[in-house]
Amino acid sequence: MSLNVEVLRKNFDLVVERSPTLTHRFYEILFERYPASRDLFPANSRLTQEGMLTQALVAVMDHLEDAPWLQSTLHALGGRHVAYRVTDEMYGWVGASLLATLAEVSGDQWNDEVQLAWTEAYGAIAGLMQEGSRLALADAKRSAAS
């Protein structure tokens, strides 16, 4: 996985500086654009969820150049999302909402290079999580068959 690490980190630093509550805005956009996604989140867990997403984003940004860490961590995260009833379609919802949030907060600093870097990064992240989901489902089927 070859990501534009410099562009991603520079933009991430900018958006966090401009909007420390970036994940709050992300969920506003997600729920506005994809109302069905609300059903995945208990009403009283939003702040907790925002904190977990913030931690996940920071961790991924810290490990952009560590492919083994990304693979094992994102496979495990994708595996856990099976229990939350997350579908492949929903990864698209999240990606579109994340890019919209980043573009909104970046303002005039959002350009084609930044958009491409984030699009590729989210595609890689979602792909690893979806792979982890498929592995978890296959393990569950094998366990049930035993």
- Torsion angle of alpha carbons 99, 104, 108, 111, nearest 10°? 10
Cα separation, 144 vs 140, in Å, equals 6
Full set of structural domains in the chain with CATH: 5-145 (1.10.490.10)
Scanning the structure block, which residue is given the tokens 């150049």? 65
Cα separation, 74 vs 62, in Å, equals 14
Of 56, 57, 107, 106, nearest to 80 by C-alpha is 56
What string of pLDDT tens digits covers the 146 residues of the chain?
A: 589 999 999 999 999 999 998 999 999 999 999 999 998 888 778 888 999 999 999 999 999 999 999 999 999 999 999 988 899 999 999 999 999 999 999 999 999 999 999 999 999 999 999 999 999 999 888 888 87
Cα separation, 106 vs 88, in Å, equals 27
